[in-house]
Amino acid sequence: MKISDVIEKFIIDIIGDADSAEISRNELASYFHCAPSQINYVLATRFTLERGYRVTGRRGGGGFIGIERFDANSKPYLNKILETLAEPVSYTRSKQIIQHLVEDAAITREEGDLLDAATCEKALSAPANISDSIRSNILRETIIRLLKR
């Protein structure tokens, strides 16, 4: 298991059922015997909006970072994702959004599989800029329907 995976799991365990936590980047780096930049990397790649997280940093005070987990069924989260879908979206980001929607039961596993099939590279066989725009449109319309529920 890679150090990034271990750090991610550790942070998720800290968040637990509270759906938010405050951590010290330097203390975490010291605990894992790694550079603070490794903690930044994990936060930037594993705790993204697409995966249902918001990371806020505070300068000073020991480098504390707030991490909040969004429920995929919440209107604020769905509206935030909707805003990001104004731009083309990669298949990787699309899969992360779909996975978060399934994990939080905003959509069923079967609906997630169908949405993944409709947005995969094979289904959207076109140049990247075109397929990313189409994928964004498909996801945006799905989110709009979820907001109407």
pLDDT given for residue 59 in this prediction: 56
β-partners of residue 57 are: 65
Burial 46-69 (b: 16+ CB within 10 A, else e): bbbbbbbbebeeeeeeebbbebbb
3-state secondary structure of 116: helix
Residue 43 CB-half CA count within 13 A: 21
pLDDT given for residue 128 in this prediction: 86
The domains located in the chain, with CATH, are 3-69 (3.30.56.130), 75-148 (no CATH)
User: Whole-angstrom Cα distance, residue 125 to residue 17?
Assistant: 41
Segment-wise mean pLDDT, segments of 10 residues, the chain, 149 residues: 93 90 90 91 93 80 82 90 94 95 93 95 91 96 88
pLDDT given for residue 58 in this prediction: 59
